[in-house]
Amino acid sequence: MAELPTQAPPPRPYAVALTGGIGSGKSAVADLFAELGVTVIDADAISHALTAPGGAALAPINAAFGAEVLCANTGLNRPLLRERVFADPAARRRLEAILHPMIRERMQAALAADQGPYALLAIPLLVETGQTGLADRVLVVDAPEALRIARVGRRSGLAPAAVRRIIASQATRAERLAAADDVIDNAGDRAALRPQVAALHARYLDLAGAHR
Ligand code: ADP
């Protein structure tokens, strides 16, 4: 009897995008998934590596913005470039046009190389950058604004007004929740995160099994 054709393996593992506004608890949640053995592919870490000394984004950034936004020690003069793009939306779009495709390409390569049943793509600006289609599922970490402001203040010493400005520049809570397949409620204490992560991990293992 002729052998049944074997199904081609999926091109990449099942992918869950993790997002949330500043101070919502994305890093805390990502750490808990990592503890369970899940690979976390972090857009911020990739962006940082691309713009660190020797990073692949430095040459195109130099070409677009001039050598004054580079720095021998840190790769990129982040405060100066941040100021430039904050004041100038066209400059911001130029920077994003350089960085976003490079970040996306590296995330996809890391995902394709991952051996786990599923991987987490931590993308803080997932909704803002219209990348919700990058993963199979979107997980949003949600917490009330007042708590986020207090937690970011404790974490990095930012004044409430500064955190509010960042929150205002990001997607609204409603926009993010509209994109969510799953939501982790981080209005409680840290201990309340663990059972929510454990339940989602079980669900993602099931979904990843069906994906194969
Ligand atoms: P994000 O990565 O979304 O900006 P973090 O995970 O860094 O948020 O959380 C913001 C700050 O709040 C961190 O210092 C973190 O340790 C703290 N934090 C997160 N969740 C809780 C919680 N449930 N209770 C108290 N502090 C928390």
Q: Say if residue 31 is in the same domain as residue 84.
A: no
Nearest Cα residue to 82 out of 74, 92, 73: 92
Measured CA distances, 45 to 52, 78, 126 (Å): 10, 14, 15
For residue 5, tell me if it sits in a domain: no
How far is it, in rounded angstroms, from Cα 99 to Cα 56? Answer: 10
Using a 6 Å cutoff on CB, does residue 186 contact ligand 1? yes
In the structure, what pLDDT confidence band is assigned to residue 212 with cuts at 50, 70 and 90?
A: confident
At which residue do the structure tokens 């708590």 appear?
Answer: 147
Distance 60 CA to ligand 1 centre (A): 34
pLDDT of residue 130: 87
Name beta bridge partners: 119: 15, 39
Q: Say if residue 103 is in the same domain as residue 147.
A: no
Tokens of 145: 């604004």
Q: Each residue of 87-112: pLDDT tens digit?
A: 899 999 999 999 999 999 999 999 99
**What is the domain count for the chain?**
2
For residue 8, tell me if it sits in a domain: no
Q: Say if residue 207 is in the same domain as residue 156.
A: yes
pLDDT of residue 87: 84
Q: Say if residue 146 is in the same domain as residue 76.
A: no
Distance 195 CA to ligand 1 centre (A): 16
Nearest Cα residue to 101 out of 34, 56, 40: 56
Listed range (33-42, 64-73, 194-203) with the worst mean pLDDT: 64-73
The answer to whether residues 16 and 139 touch, using CB atoms and an 8 Å cutoff, is yes
pLDDT of residue 7: 65
Q: Of 115, 148, 174, which closes a domain?
A: 115
Q: Of 100, 115, 130, which closes a domain?
A: 115
How far is it, in rounded angstroms, from Cα 121 to Cα 33? Answer: 11
Q: Say if residue 149 is in the same domain as residue 195.
A: yes
Using a 6 Å cutoff on CB, does residue 106 contact ligand 1? no
Domain that holds residue 162: 13-38+117-212
Tokens of 196: 């929510």
Nearest Cα residue to 46 out of 123, 142, 120: 123
Q: Say if residue 197 is in the same domain as residue 93.
A: no
Using a 6 Å cutoff on CB, does residue 75 contact ligand 1? no
| CATH code, domain carrying 127 | 3.40.50.300
Distance 201 CA to ligand 1 centre (A): 20
CA dihedral sign, ordered 48, 53, 58, 62? positive
Q: Each residue of 137-156: pLDDT tens digit?
A: 999 999 999 999 999 999 99
Q: Say if residue 95 is in the same domain as residue 77.
A: yes
Nearest Cα residue to 137 out of 186, 207, 197, 193: 207
Q: Say if residue 57 is in the same domain as residue 95.
A: yes
* Nearest atom in ligand 1 to 141's CA: 3
Q: Say if residue 104 is in the same domain as residue 179.
A: no
How far is it, in rounded angstroms, from Cα 75 to Cα 57? Answer: 10
The average pLDDT across 175-200 equals 97
How far is it, in rounded angstroms, from Cα 107 to Cα 41? Answer: 7
At which residue do the structure tokens 């793509």 appear?
Answer: 121
Q: Of 115, 143, 161, which closes a domain?
A: 115
Q: Say if residue 22 is in the same domain as residue 74.
A: no
pLDDT of residue 3: 60
Neighbouring residues of 167: CB distance < 8 A, sequence distance ≥ 6: 21, 22, 145, 148, 149
The SS3 of residue 78 is helix
